[in-house]
Amino acid sequence: MTEDERPRFAVVGVDHIHAFLQAEMLIAAGADFAGWSSADTTITPEFSRRFPDTPRFEDADALLEASDVDLIVTAAVPDRRAALACRAMLLGKDVLSDKPGAITFAEVARIESVARETARHWTVFFSERFASPSTEEALALVRAGAIGDVVHTLGIGPHRLGLTPRPDWFWDRRRAGGILTDLASHQIDQFLVFTSAEEAAVTQATRANRTTAKRPDFDDFAEILLRSRAATGYARVDWLTTDGLGTWGDGRLFVQGTEGAIEVRKNVDLAGRDGAEHVFVVDQRGTRYVDASDRETEFAPRLVRDVLERTESAVSTDHSLRVTRLAIEAEALATRLDGAF
């Protein structure tokens, strides 16, 4: 890729730490970081330090309207992401949005309409797959037929609540979207891709507040059941990771096939191997371990090519819409547990 061929991206909205990862992955994939704009948050000073040579713009419109910017990246407050994405697409830009990319059905419908009208890409950043070498390794094994046809996935996404200071919007479901709209989007994404499902349904969902009594409207635990034509899935997400764990969460994925099974330990192998990105495979021949820590993730290089070539090799807009819609549906359908049966 020559310098003239490099797409240019700008970040609009640095309200979540995923903005750092999105920018770093795109730079590593060969994209040029044109600039960023955001209201001041607790993490914007660190963002400035991390990218000292990238100019900060007081006016986001200067980046949204810039003719030499191809891709708008956002980790703005969730209730602002959909409108920002639609404006960017109408101005001729592709969009990479942190999850959740939208928090209401109306927002999803508007994004879908604008994406169709403009033929621009709207991509949601499902970091638990796109930035996870072990998850990509497991998916490659599945697609190579290592465990036969996938009939079930079990995904868990625990997080640490106190990892960073939480802004007021984080505790407000009307602004953040809720635990299932937010966190469970990762597990829904993985269910669809590992089972090769084009459509799926949420058959059951629950959510609860177990440890945050001072925030009675906030949910720190949730679970869902998923079903497609050929497979079922279970997902559990929470904010219950304790300080004793040396990472933000013991994220795991279990994939059951007709001829074997795979377990992915994304962030830590408890009392086992050091580091992250562990894959365990059981098939007809026995068991084996795959260290995926050196695997190069494919998402960002593919996305960079997609922006240039107008393809959808990284992830399709339809997939991002499908996952987002299912996550919002799960949130809407969820029964709130209050200790009573």
Question: DSSP per residue over 124-167, as a string?
Answer: EE-HHHHT-HHHHHHHHHHHTTTTSSEEEEEEEEE-BTTSSPPP
**AA letter at 204:** Q
pLDDT of residue 1: 56
Domain extent, residue 175, equals 129-296
User: Rounded to an integer, what distance in angstroms lies between the CA atom of residue 311 and that of residue 307?
Assistant: 7
Give yes or no: residues 156 and 283 share one domain. yes
Domain of 42, CATH number, reads: 3.40.50.720
Q: Identify the CA nearest to 301 among candidates 27, 32, 35.
A: 27
Residue pair 147/257 in contact by the 8 Å Cβ criterion: yes
- Please give the tally of structural domains in the chain: 2
Give yes or no: residues 269 and 302 share one domain. no
pLDDT of residue 341: 42
User: Rounded to an integer, what distance in angstroms lies between the CA atom of residue 74 and that of residue 95?
Assistant: 8
Give yes or no: residues 190 and 268 share one domain. yes
> One digit per residue, pLDDT tens: the chain, 341 residues?
556 679 999 999 999 999 999 999 999 999 999 999 999 999 999 999 999 999 999 999 999 999 999 999 999 999 999 999 999 999 999 999 999 999 999 999 999 999 999 999 999 999 999 999 999 999 999 999 999 999 999 999 999 998 567 899 999 999 999 999 999 999 999 999 999 999 999 999 999 999 998 999 999 999 999 999 999 999 999 999 998 998 989 999 999 999 999 999 999 998 889 999 999 999 999 999 999 999 999 999 999 999 999 999 999 999 999 999 999 999 999 999 975 54
Whether residue 341 is contained in a domain is answered as no
Whether residue 16 is contained in a domain is answered as yes
Domain of 260, CATH number, reads: 3.30.360.10
Give yes or no: residues 139 and 286 share one domain. yes
Give yes or no: residues 218 and 269 share one domain. yes
Give yes or no: residues 95 and 145 share one domain. no
Give yes or no: residues 136 and 44 share one domain. no
pLDDT of residue 246: 87
Give yes or no: residues 137 and 218 share one domain. yes
Length, in residues, of the chain: 341
Q: Which residues contact 175 (CB under 8 A, 6 or more apart)?
A: 77, 78, 79, 103, 169
For residue 288, the SS3 value is: strand
Give yes or no: residues 25 and 110 share one domain. yes
Whether residue 201 is contained in a domain is answered as yes
Give yes or no: residues 106 and 183 share one domain. no
User: Rounded to an integer, what distance in angstroms lies between the CA atom of residue 252 and that of residue 266?
Assistant: 6
Q: Identify the CA nearest to 316 among candidates 201, 178, 192.
A: 192
Whether residue 338 is contained in a domain is answered as no
Whether residue 327 is contained in a domain is answered as no
Whether residue 322 is contained in a domain is answered as no
Whether residue 240 is contained in a domain is answered as yes
**AA letter at 148:** G
Per-residue b or e along 285-294, where b marks 16 or more CB atoms closer than 10 Å to that residue's CB: eeeeebebee
User: Rounded to an integer, what distance in angstroms lies between the CA atom of residue 262 and that of residue 170?
Assistant: 34
Place of tokens 């625990």: 158
3-state SS string for 43-101: CHHHHHHHCCCCCECCCHHHHHCCCCCCEEEEECCHHHHHHHHHHHHHCCCEEEEECCC
Give yes or no: residues 165 and 239 share one domain. yes
Whether residue 335 is contained in a domain is answered as no
Give yes or no: residues 291 and 303 share one domain. no
Residue pair 128/156 in contact by the 8 Å Cβ criterion: no
